Amino acid sequence: MPAARIVSRAVVVRSHATLIEGLMSKDKGRVLVTGGAGFIGSHVCAAFRDAGWSVVALDDLSTGKIENVPDGVKLIEDDIRSASTADLIHGGDFEVVSHQAAQVDVRLSVARPDHDAALNVMGLLNLLEASRAAEVRRFVFASSGGVVYGEPETVPVPETAPKRPLSPYGVSKLMGEHYLHCYRVIHGLEGVSLRYANVYGPRQDPHGEAGVVAIFSRRLLEGQRLTVFGDGEQTRDYVYVGDVARANLAAADVPLRDPESIDDGAFNVGTGVETSVNSLAHILMQAAGAASPVERAPARPGELLRNCLDSSRLRALDWEPAGSLTDGLSHTFEWIAQESGRCP
């Protein structure tokens, strides 16, 4: 049984130096990554594996793909809501659960809020109940800095900003954070919520929060027009998936503050750089070495005007984005080109 499985409600406060020392000397344990066959989850699996952890991916393959699961990672095909998933956690000796599986489509959540809640709320609860019973040391939750704040008053947005989600998906993510907080206070289960910005990179599909990168890339490869909604000056914070995976690894051991509010266990994961849709289209055209005409369409109702995250809390723990947006988008474009068999 891994030594770190003892759950304590005591506040864990360690210096940064002690944290790094602890990471280097630690016997790596077992981690369960839900959604491990998905876009972000597969990169999270690889990051834990490369750091010496024993990794199990759980995925129902509803949108994930077997070929996404990295070598050396065991895939269990199951639903996060099932009794057998709870049994897996009970008997799995997992030190950490990294919960990436979700219904991720904002528009689908508006059309089917019941479906969204069934996966994103009831699925989470099944995992939390099993994790506290199995004395999992830490539970890391993929939240979203792109939706929990709503239209922000200040940019870049700090973790403490008001939370005003404007979609059922945003509500379910925020509710997830409240459940984590509650489980820490009541049961001593250490919970960390990572509020991702708009994540892009290899293996992404067009349905996630940074789907525009995949959509524009494919249209550039096909020589088709790029559709920009509104004036194209709406901004987002695009963060590379490898950086998000490293944030998950850090979250397994990050020191936690006294749990007075959900923000004490929450970390923004973004670059702090605002990029407009117009700029994004321009950078991708450069990566493609080809221009496509841009057509304008009416602004979409409910679309946020600005979003950009202040990740100083995570940066203080030695995390920071490894490369530039231009490099990350070039790499992503090349990957999409190869996948679609349309190398430019």
Provide the annotated active-site residues. 169
The answer to whether 39 contacts ligand NAD (rule: CB under 6 A) is yes
Q: CB of residue 68 vs ligand NAD: minimum separation in angstroms?
A: 7
Nearer to ligand NAD among residue 26 and residue 276 (C-beta): 276
Is 333 near ligand NAD (CB under 6 A)? Answer: no
CA dist 14 → 152, 187, 249 (Å) = 32, 21, 17
Report residue 297 as tokens. Answer: 């369409």
Residue 44 near ligand NAD by CB under 6 A: no
Q: Confirm if 96 and 31 have CB atoms less than 8 A apart.
A: yes
Q: Which of 47, 31, 302 is nearest to 170 (CA)?
A: 302
- Give the whole-angstrom CA distance, residue 151 versus residue 147: 9
Among 63, 109, 131, 292, binds ligand NAD (CB under 6 A): 63
* Candidates 15-23, 193-201, 221-229, 276-284; binding stretch for ligand NAD (CB under 6 A): 193-201
* Angle at 134 (CA atoms; ends 141, 42), nearest 5 degrees: 40
The H or E element that residue 266 is part of is strand 266-269
The nearest distance, CB 126 to ligand NAD, in angstroms, is 10
CA distances from 206 to 4, 108, 210, 233, 269 (A): 39, 13, 8, 20, 21
**Number of residues located near ligand NAD, criterion CB under 6 A:** 30
Q: Which residues make beta-bridge pairs with 76?
A: 58
* Choice from 29, 92, 146, 270 touching ligand NAD (CB under 6 A): 146
Residue 142 within binding range of ligand NAD, rule CB under 6 A: yes
* Minimum CB–partner distance for residue 272 and ligand NAD (Å): 16
Nearer to ligand NAD, 35 or 321 (CB): 35
Judged by DSSP in three states, 148 sits in coil
Judged by CB under 6 A, the residue of 209, 263, 264, 274 near ligand NAD is 209
Q: Does 202 bind ligand NAD (CB under 6 A)?
A: no
Regarding 144 and contact with ligand NAD (CB under 6 A), the answer is: yes
Q: How many CA atoms lie within 13 A of 242 on its CB side?
A: 12
Residue 275 amino acid letter: T
Piece of 78-86, 89-97, 125-133, 154-162 that binds ligand NAD (CB under 6 A): 78-86
Which tokens belong to 274? Answer: 């605002």
The tokens describing 216, both together, are: 């524009």
Q: Which residues bind ligand NAD (CB under 6 A)?
A: 35, 37-41, 59-64, 79-81, 100-102, 104, 119, 123, 142, 144, 146, 196, 198-199, 208-210
